[in-house]
Structure 1
Amino acid sequence: MFGPGSQFHAFFDDPRWALAIVRATVLEAAHPQIGAALIDNSTFVVHPWRRLRNTLVSLQRMFGPDAQVRQREAARLNRLHARLNGTDAQDRPYDAMDPDVRAWVVATLFESAVTMCRLSGQPLEQAAMEQLYAEFQAFLAAFGDEAGHLPLSLHEFWTYYDRVVEEELENTEAMRIILYKLFDHLPAPPLLNSLPTLWAAGRTVAGPLIGAITVASLPEPFRRRSGLPELPGAQTLTQGAYLAVGLARFLPDGWVRTDTITDLLALSLDSDDPRARTASALRDKVDRAAALLRLIAPLPPEPEPAATGGGQRGAEEFFREVLDQTGNGYLDWPDLAAMARELSSRLDLDEPLETRLYSAFADWWRELQPALDTDGDGRISAHEYAAAVPSLAGPALIKLAEVLFDATDKDGNQTIDADEYRALFRTAFHRDTAGTEVAYTRSAFVKDFLSFMSGRRRSTPYDPLLAQA
């Protein structure tokens, strides 16, 4: 069911999966419970590349051959989902641990994989489809959910799928954001941060195209009921896109690997990863080509990339880039929970350290809210934050820095060595002191963390940690 030889393993590095996963995400977001949870808690609008990488790493672990890794990842995801509950704008409850909701997420992944093959002219044979469905059933079972929320047989699945599409899915805000806003405003991945004009030009073309392809691939009853516009010729365009992207499968082995591509997109150019040197050289060539193009056909000058070496940043900029993780214009508990979630994922924390980190963020929120929430609406606006010009380095933030140090210091020797540093920041550690015994002490770590979080100073390692897309 898992690992090499499984149907899903063959699909994971298939470039068509990039289109299929967008489609599956739209169908998930159209479920009212999932859509509400995404709007309230997710960072997918502001930090899409971070979210994508974390999702792919999780899928690799869940569908990999190691049962212990799979059980550990399932436990981590269960803890994460247990923290996601609330009510939507219509006062309807949502709960990420609802077994019917979890079954629908798995259903969208399976059905989108089947649709991916059909649209690219290579429909799955019945035996292969049965095998893939059994793998997704095993995937759901790994979370400990009781059988029955996902139909037991493939024949029953299609009746279940049609019923949910026709009776439960809605034109949710989260779905509309994914289709019409996400790609229009998609920030550049870290590797392309220094090429904003080139990225914006590509996004302007690709965004509407991906949206049109995705809409055309959705079930027709749902498109009609939700009033989703379908462009003339979109069905042909969709089939052509899946077919064209699928041709990349015939490239030499190793050229198209999902984990390699996502790692490169998230790669910091000051990392000591050998690939960073190659990426940096490639970027220099692109810069020279762009300069030559501007000589031939002058374009508006590209904005200078933001400095990251320790300069001051304004309060509203800090609020937007660091504190407002969900991108809704306010600071509230889901934003700090998103920080805890990202740090826990980077450090691959187990209990009880994960809970300690979440609790430290919760204590910080309880310290911030009464001090900054001047209108008493339960959240902090950018204006409230900027007007107060607060010093955030209170006791709770100091405690948070201490807990984060303990979580990073895996061997408990009260210093952070190069490997521990890299696990948190994914970049080099004291490159200029190679060969010497230099470590990051607790006091230095706490001082730097507080300086970044309260002094609003840019920091080469901390900016990518919480502000990176």
Structure 2
Amino acid sequence: MTDRTTGSHPHGAGPERAGRDESSVRGSTEPPSLPLFGPGSQFHAFFDDPRWALAVVRATVLEAAHPQIGAALIANSTFVAHPWRRLRNTLLSLRRMFGADEQVRQREAARLNRLHARLSGVDERNRPYDAMDPEIRAWVVATLFESTVTMCRLSGQPLDQATMERLYTEFQAFLAVLGDRAGHLPPTLREFWPYYDRVVEEELENTEALRIILYRLFDHLPAPPLLGDLPTVWAAGRALAGPVLGAITVASLPEPFRRRAGLPEIPGARTLTQGAYLAMGLARFLPDGWIQGQAMADLLSLPPDSDDPRARTLAALRDRTKRAGALLRLLSPLAAEPDPAEEGRPVQRSAGEFFDEVLDQTGDGYLDWPDLAAMAREVSGRLDLDEPEETRLYDAYAHWWRELQAALDTDGDGRISRHEYAAAVPSLAGPALIRVAEVLFDVTDADGDRTIDAEEYRALFRTGFRRELADVDGACSRGAFVRDFLCFMSGRRRSTAYDPLLAEA
């Protein structure tokens, strides 16, 4: 049995197994009146804990190692091309699900179920996957729970048995809100550990999604939007932090899986892992409110030219950094490489750049339905759409995909390559794309007055209203909105509004 404290294989059950069994025999000691969600819940105390960032990465790797989840990630997820967007949306979803507002929780659960119902197919070995499979959804919840327990243990603050029981009950309640039947996640903590060990030892694989996370994503992680104009600084930091984060993640994984998957055993990695968790755990001594996970994700997602006061403050600091860097280059005897951020980005995109930055949302080098579905998913999440608006938006994108496929898929393989797109150099402003723009206007126009006001504009773009679009009493008409969208999508012009929505990492 794996020792989750050190990752070693003990000679007996060990104190960890004994403690787990003892707790389960006693049963939960928490009074039933304690809340399962919102302030007062055990999960609420962890959400803004910096250690949880490492725990979420670890849980994501364990999810990606499941062949069904790994296949769904490869085929549908934007985690490679847009990892910061994916992180922010995940944290927002968890905050909605574990918050105190029951109505918000039910809306989010319905949204997640609609999202998962659209994710099914077969992997490269022709094995089916379905994101609505209750056993798969149970494994996702299991990895979050177990990684939270491991997070506390590695940082020298192991959970007592009553707290562990309470946390497990909260994660069971999370799964129940999604509507999954009881039994897919074991009913008691005592039964959970054999279930977890069985999945780890028998079902997890060295999937393509896992390899991308460990060996590509960490080493090539794109800069978050807020730091997008500091590529040199970001690349230098990533060169140091990427391998360390990868080593920490691998060392924290269950030893039977590491051995079977052939993951490298780096000398000193276990000590480094415990040190990293311990160091991040010291943040608990900071004053309340100093570290908030959602606020940090929101900040990193802000584009440099955002009108948010936080972005303006950091922009001023970046300007000073650039001036200092320019002075150093003047004093340096060696010629320095020009900083792309200082040269400015051209207004026009080439066809290839537009394909890579906008159309290929999943980052696999091809344009197919999951890429356009990712666009619809991002807009739906930003606007918090319900049925039938969400379905209208997906249907509009699906019609556009059929139009693109008929025009550009010259080899008939069911997808559009970068070469096929660039060779055709098409004007994308056909009837289907115009319909996408019209539906996008309709779902953004929350009050139905047939104009986009400043508040509705900010809901979609998360930045201030562009006054040059205002052509109806200080608001944006349907015609102006549609023209701006088509100019971006077919003219391949960069846009201060649509770039953060569809192109930024």
TM-score in terms of structure 2 length: 0.90
Q: 1:371 aligns with which of 407, 415, 421?
A: 407
Match of 1:389 in 2: 425
- Aligned AA (2:118): R
Deviation (angstroms), 1:283: 1.9
Give a deviation string over 1:38-76, Cα, whole Å, max 9, x none.
000000000000000000000000000111110110000
* Equivalenced residues, count: 467
Whether the aligned pair in 2 keeps the contact of 1:409 and 1:416 (CA below 8 Å) is yes
- Aligned AA (2:341): E
Q: Which moved more, 1:296-305 or 1:227-236?
A: 296-305
Q: 2:228 aligns with which of 184, 187, 193?
A: 193
- Aligned AA (1:158): W
Q: 2:240 aligns with which of 205, 209, 213?
A: 205
The alpha-carbon distance between structure 1 residues 369 and 306, as it changes in their structure 2 partners (threshold 3 A), is: farther
Match of 2:348 in 1: 312
Are residue 302 (structure 1) and residue 339 (structure 2) matched?
yes
**Matching of residues 133-148 of structure 1 within 5 Å:** 133-148=168-183
Q: Which moved more, 1:452-461 or 1:12-21?
A: 452-461
Q: 2:315 aligns with which of 270, 275, 280?
A: 280
Match of 1:253 in 2: 288
Whether the aligned pair in 2 keeps the contact of 1:193 and 1:305 (CA below 8 Å) is no
Q: Which moved more, 1:278-287 or 1:254-263?
A: 278-287
- Aligned AA (1:123): P
1: CA distance, partners of 2:298 / 2:328: 29
Deviation (angstroms), 1:437: 4.2
Deviation (angstroms), 1:27: 0.1
Deviation (angstroms), 1:248: 1.8
Q: 2:255 aligns with which of 210, 220, 224?
A: 220
- Unaligned 5+ segments in structure 1 are none
Deviation (angstroms), 1:457: 1.4
Match of 1:42 in 2: 77
Whether the aligned pair in 2 keeps the contact of 1:391 and 1:454 (CA below 8 Å) is yes
The alpha-carbon distance between structure 1 residues 396 and 307, as it changes in their structure 2 partners (threshold 3 A), is: farther
Q: Percent identity?
A: 78
2: CA distance, partners of 1:291 / 1:191: 21
SS of equivalent to 1:94: strand
Whether the aligned pair in 1 keeps the contact of 2:121 and 2:128 (CA below 8 Å) is yes
Whether the aligned pair in 1 keeps the contact of 2:383 and 2:460 (CA below 8 Å) is yes
Are residue 87 (structure 1) and residue 105 (structure 2) matched?
no
Are residue 101 (structure 1) and residue 136 (structure 2) matched?
yes
**Matching of residues 299-378 of structure 1 within 5 Å:** 299-304=336-341, 307=344, 311-378=347-414
Deviation (angstroms), 1:463: 1.3
Match of 1:290 in 2: 325
2: CA distance, partners of 1:450 / 1:456: 9
SS of equivalent to 1:147: coil
The alpha-carbon distance between structure 1 residues 305 and 135, as it changes in their structure 2 partners (threshold 3 A), is: farther
Match of 1:171 in 2: 206
Whether the aligned pair in 2 keeps the contact of 1:249 and 1:256 (CA below 8 Å) is no
Give a deviation string over 1:377-430, Cα, whole Å, max 9, x none.
000001000111111111111111000000100001111000110111111113
- Aligned AA (1:34): I
How well do the aligned residues superpose, as a CA RMSD in angstroms?
Answer: 1.6
Deviation (angstroms), 1:352: 0.3
1: CA distance, partners of 2:301 / 2:327: 27
Give a deviation string over 1:435-455, Cα, whole Å, max 9, x none.
x94111100111111111111
Q: Which has the larger radius of gyration?
A: 2
The alpha-carbon distance between structure 1 residues 75 and 222, as it changes in their structure 2 partners (threshold 3 A), is: same
Q: Which moved more, 1:291-300 or 1:317-326?
A: 291-300
Whether the aligned pair in 1 keeps the contact of 2:393 and 2:436 (CA below 8 Å) is yes
2: CA distance, partners of 1:197 / 1:322: 23
Whether the aligned pair in 2 keeps the contact of 1:29 and 1:38 (CA below 8 Å) is yes
Match of 2:3 in 1: none
Deviation (angstroms), 1:370: 1.1
The alpha-carbon distance between structure 1 residues 291 and 334, as it changes in their structure 2 partners (threshold 3 A), is: same
1: CA distance, partners of 2:318 / 2:289: 22
Q: 2:279 aligns with which of 211, 226, 244?
A: 244
Deviation (angstroms), 1:278: 1.6
The alpha-carbon distance between structure 1 residues 306 and 414, as it changes in their structure 2 partners (threshold 3 A), is: farther
Match of 1:466 in 2: 502
Deviation (angstroms), 1:304: 3.3
Match of 1:125 in 2: 160
2: CA distance, partners of 1:92 / 1:400: 33
SS of equivalent to 2:121: strand
The alpha-carbon distance between structure 1 residues 307 and 425, as it changes in their structure 2 partners (threshold 3 A), is: farther
Give a deviation string over 1:251-273, Cα, whole Å, max 9, x none.
22222111111111011233332
Q: Which moved more, 1:241-250 or 1:354-363?
A: 241-250
Whether the aligned pair in 2 keeps the contact of 1:86 and 1:93 (CA below 8 Å) is yes
Give a deviation string over 1:358-392, Cα, whole Å, max 9, x none.
00000001111011000000000010001111111
Whether the aligned pair in 1 keeps the contact of 2:226 and 2:311 (CA below 8 Å) is no
- Which consecutive segments of 4 or more residues in structure 1 shift more than 6 A? none
- Aligned AA (2:124): A
- Unaligned 5+ segments in structure 2 are 1-35
Are residue 72 (structure 1) and residue 107 (structure 2) matched?
yes
Match of 2:15 in 1: none
The alpha-carbon distance between structure 1 residues 418 and 308, as it changes in their structure 2 partners (threshold 3 A), is: farther
Match of 1:420 in 2: 456
2: CA distance, partners of 1:221 / 1:25: 18
Deviation (angstroms), 1:292: 4.2
The alpha-carbon distance between structure 1 residues 275 and 304, as it changes in their structure 2 partners (threshold 3 A), is: closer
Deviation (angstroms), 1:295: 4.7
- Aligned AA (1:282): L
Q: Which moved more, 1:34-43 or 1:255-264?
A: 255-264
2: CA distance, partners of 1:100 / 1:269: 42
- Aligned AA (2:464): A
The alpha-carbon distance between structure 1 residues 373 and 307, as it changes in their structure 2 partners (threshold 3 A), is: farther
2: CA distance, partners of 1:122 / 1:74: 32
SS of equivalent to 1:270: coil
Whether the aligned pair in 1 keeps the contact of 2:154 and 2:273 (CA below 8 Å) is yes
1: CA distance, partners of 2:341 / 2:167: 48
Match of 2:490 in 1: 454
Deviation (angstroms), 1:312: 1.8
- Aligned AA (1:406): D
SS of equivalent to 2:428: coil
Whether the aligned pair in 2 keeps the contact of 1:268 and 1:427 (CA below 8 Å) is no
Deviation (angstroms), 1:12: 0.4
The alpha-carbon distance between structure 1 residues 306 and 451, as it changes in their structure 2 partners (threshold 3 A), is: farther
2: CA distance, partners of 1:432 / 1:458: 16
Whether the aligned pair in 2 keeps the contact of 1:308 and 1:463 (CA below 8 Å) is no
